[in-house]
Structure 1
Amino acid sequence: MKGFSKIAFLLFLSLSIPLSVEANDKVEIQSETAIIMDSKSGKVLYEKKAHQQMYPASITKIITGIVALEQGNISDIVTVSSEATRVIGTRVYLLEGEDVTLEKLVQGMMINSGNDAGTAIAEHFDGSEEKFSNRMNDFITEVVGVKNSNFTNPHGLFGEEHYTTAYDMAKITQYAMKNEAFREIVGTKFLEWNGEGWETTLINHHRLLGNYEGVTGVKNGYVSMSGHTLVTSAERGDTELIVVTLNAPSAKIASRDTMTLLDYGFEHFETKTVDSGNYYDSFGNEYKLAEDLFVTTHKGETIEVNVSVYGYITVLGENNRLLSIKALQRKVPEKPQVMLEPKQETKSKEATNFFEHSILTWLGGKLGVMEK
């Protein structure tokens, strides 16, 4: 490798070896579109038409739920309107004038898929479903960062302009599951419901919760135009996967496809952690990794962590496969000192360093992990 640095060699490898982990093309499912995503790293492990726009049905409520929990006060009292009680589809049988906490409405919406609860939440925030939809769309674009979805109501009843993608729903769910209150609600199997119009035990509509190892949530859906939709999170050890399946022919097939994808994901991949803390380049300069860095590897794969003189941390898998690259924070010494560098820099070395820096920037852009 005379004349090539290690980074230059990585560039060569990156042109022939995919930067992302690859899925098995032999995975067979009946859902029209689907995705497996590592919840911690965000790495896509499998996709089938994951960016195709689809009708979501009640998985829409994932956005409504996380917006309500993050932008509202769960102790707020919501007075149910007559419009909310007249919403068609699955309900928790709210009564006009009934006072319910925002938290209870989110529970009824996520566990029992109550459309009336969804409408009551929307009206509480913005006075109407239409105005709340604007809030939902702003949230997913500005906070979550997805761009191929549009929502026109809080519950998922059919609308021509109400659509999403498997990828967008996986990213939205990845974000939502970081909220402990949301996570607790969608992982609740049974809940006693004592409303003015209905007293019962709610049973979570997600069929795999409690019936597949490690499932932690999150939501199912169905309207005739969308087919059966299902968003699922499951964890085993340090690995948590998100699976989205859209437009399955039946609820049974949606669940079966999801189990097939989860089986595949857990069998072939795992999540490893590069701990936050201080790291040093080859000249002893100190940098800080502020948060744990998660990388997805093949099952049993070892990783190598390196820090460049430009303050980038790179994580390599076997055969120098690039798994992640991230800019670190330079730690400034308490007492001023000269930055440690090689004693002599030739023009050739300077050109090589510039080339390496350009490569690191390009690779980081490809991986989407170049946050400062």
Structure 2
Amino acid sequence: MKRMIIAFIIHFLLLMFVSSNVLAQDERPNIKCEAYIVMEEGSGRVLYEKNADKLMYPASLTKVATAIYAIENGNLEDMVTVSERARNADGTRVYLEVGEKVPLKKLVQGLLINSGNDAGVAIAEHIDGSVENYANHLNLYLKEIGLEDTHFKNPHGLFDPDHVTTAKDLAKITQYAMKNAEFRTIFGTEELKWDGQAWDTTLFTHHKLMRERPYEGVTGGKTGFVDEAGNTLITTANRDGMSVIVVVLKGPSSTIAYSDTVELLDSAFTQYKLIEIPEGKEYVQNDFTYITNNTYAFPIADGEKMYENITEDGTLEITIGNQDFIATIPILNDSVEVSQSLPTVKASQSQPEEAETSTKMINIIIGLILALTVTCVVFIKRKRGDGSSAS
């Protein structure tokens, strides 16, 4: 009898342990893509992430980097002569012809809106002389921006085993690019009349949340697919003044990549709101007055509380309720600027409501396990007591 009771307890505890682990794995939104990240654009705070630092294949999301590189390193009014290598690029094209002369800006538009691989090769050759030189220069450019784990071999994202990046780096380059008005306009273009030497048509963005399945607040996007990368997607959106960047990588299907993106957008806009620190706000520390020299906004989740603290060296630090450091911002000391740096931001560990519910469930289960264990122990002791008196 005692062995049966002990065996029952062990079996029950194992079942509860497995159940607890399943719940713990569901603490973030039910996302099926292998990697994802949601970043608030203004502050850079990471709201949700999974495998965000894992090296992966981006497919045509590469073109975000190519576009901003071309905008910042070329003259958009330049006329680009199309080479045979560009003309013969594999995959999606805008059907450029050898010797055709096309404005650089038009190539960037064809690159982002219609995902033209031929446009990407033409851009690379025009700016750096060859695709190989372009790749070397682009990688240096991306490191200067702050991308740590990206190594690109081409301007379009066609598969190469050494052409890799991460969800986090893709969010960073998108955040950087969105500060450029020219990029932002092209990235958000839904359709464009295309009058080419071999192709006269209207280009429509491939991003379905911008056109076919419009999502409220979407401001831009880029799609990608090669067999090795699966379905990849970058989406930018704004609601109530809060802009977010969503990157999903290696989606099992296009439908899943979009549904995951919508779920992450819904979670971000439901769970977070912007809290502002206004320009000219004063803080006193050690008889010095410190003043913010701009207005700064940070996304705060429901239930979080933001704390502002001036350190001994006169730096304004922003923390959230659990005391996770999220940012430092420039301030002035008696009208003398202390820091010129932009806010530096740490990723949030906050979770949506599903996570909080799962955590509560785990706590309840643990409590039930403890109660049952105590009951069984008392029962066994009583049985032992009954046995000793009977003898």
TM-score by length of 2: 0.75
Deviation at 1:236, TM superposition (A): 0.3
SS at match of 2:208: coil
Is contact 2:325–2:346 with CA below 8 Å preserved after alignment? Answer: no
SS at match of 1:152: coil
Alignment correspondent of 1:180? 181
Alignment correspondent of 2:259? 256
Percent identity (aligned): 45
Q: Call closer, same or farther: CA 1:256–1:297 in 2, change over 3 Å.
A: same
Is contact 1:40–1:271 with CA below 8 Å preserved after alignment? Answer: no
Alignment correspondent of 1:357? none
Q: Call closer, same or farther: CA 1:286–1:128 in 2, change over 3 Å.
A: same
Deviation at 1:230, TM superposition (A): 0.4
Alignment correspondent of 1:228? 231
Deviation at 1:196, TM superposition (A): 1.0
Alignment correspondent of 2:124? 122
| 2:45 alignment partner, one of 37, 43, 58 | 43
In the alignment of these two chains, the number of paired residues is 315
CA distance in 2, matches of 1:302, 1:57: 39
Moved more, 306-315 or 121-130: 306-315
CA distance in 2, matches of 1:254, 1:53: 18
Deviation at 1:53, TM superposition (A): 0.5
Alignment correspondent of 1:215? 218
Moved more, 194-203 or 287-296: 287-296
Q: Call closer, same or farther: CA 1:200–1:293 in 2, change over 3 Å.
A: same
SS at match of 2:233: strand
Q: Call closer, same or farther: CA 1:327–1:190 in 2, change over 3 Å.
A: closer
| CA displacement 1:157-208 (0-9 Å, x = unmatched) | 0001001111111111111111111011010001000111111110001111
CA distance in 1, matches of 2:323, 2:230: 43
Alignment correspondent of 2:70? 68
Structure 1 stretches of at least 4 aligned residues deviating more than 6 Å after TM superposition: none
CA distance in 2, matches of 1:323, 1:168: 19
CA distance in 2, matches of 1:278, 1:265: 28
Alignment correspondent of 2:169? 168
**How do residues 55-94 of structure 1 correspond to structure 2 at under 5 angstroms?**
55-94=57-96
Is contact 2:293–2:330 with CA below 8 Å preserved after alignment? Answer: no
SS at match of 2:299: strand
Is contact 1:281–1:309 with CA below 8 Å preserved after alignment? Answer: no
Residue type of the alignment partner of 1:287: Y
Q: Call closer, same or farther: CA 1:321–1:58 in 2, change over 3 Å.
A: closer
Q: Call closer, same or farther: CA 1:37–1:310 in 2, change over 3 Å.
A: same
CA distance in 1, matches of 2:49, 2:187: 24
Deviation at 1:291, TM superposition (A): 3.7
CA distance in 1, matches of 2:164, 2:41: 22
Alignment correspondent of 1:206? 207
Unmatched tracts of structure 1, length 5 or more: 1-22, 334-363
CA distance in 2, matches of 1:190, 1:209: 10
Residue type of the alignment partner of 2:132: E
| CA displacement 1:281-301 (0-9 Å, x = unmatched) | 145533343443332201475
Alignment correspondent of 1:154? 155
Is contact 1:281–1:308 with CA below 8 Å preserved after alignment? Answer: no
Deviation at 1:323, TM superposition (A): 4.3
Alignment correspondent of 1:134? 136
Residue type of the alignment partner of 2:109: Q
Alignment correspondent of 1:195? 196
Q: Call closer, same or farther: CA 1:138–1:323 in 2, change over 3 Å.
A: closer
Backbone CA RMSD of aligned residues: 2.3
Q: Call closer, same or farther: CA 1:107–1:330 in 2, change over 3 Å.
A: same
TM-score by length of 1: 0.79
SS at match of 2:219: strand
Q: Call closer, same or farther: CA 1:69–1:24 in 2, change over 3 Å.
A: farther
| More helix by percentage | 2
Is contact 1:228–1:249 with CA below 8 Å preserved after alignment? Answer: yes
SS at match of 2:210: coil
Higher Rg of the two aligned structures: 2
SS at match of 1:241: strand
Deviation at 1:156, TM superposition (A): 0.4
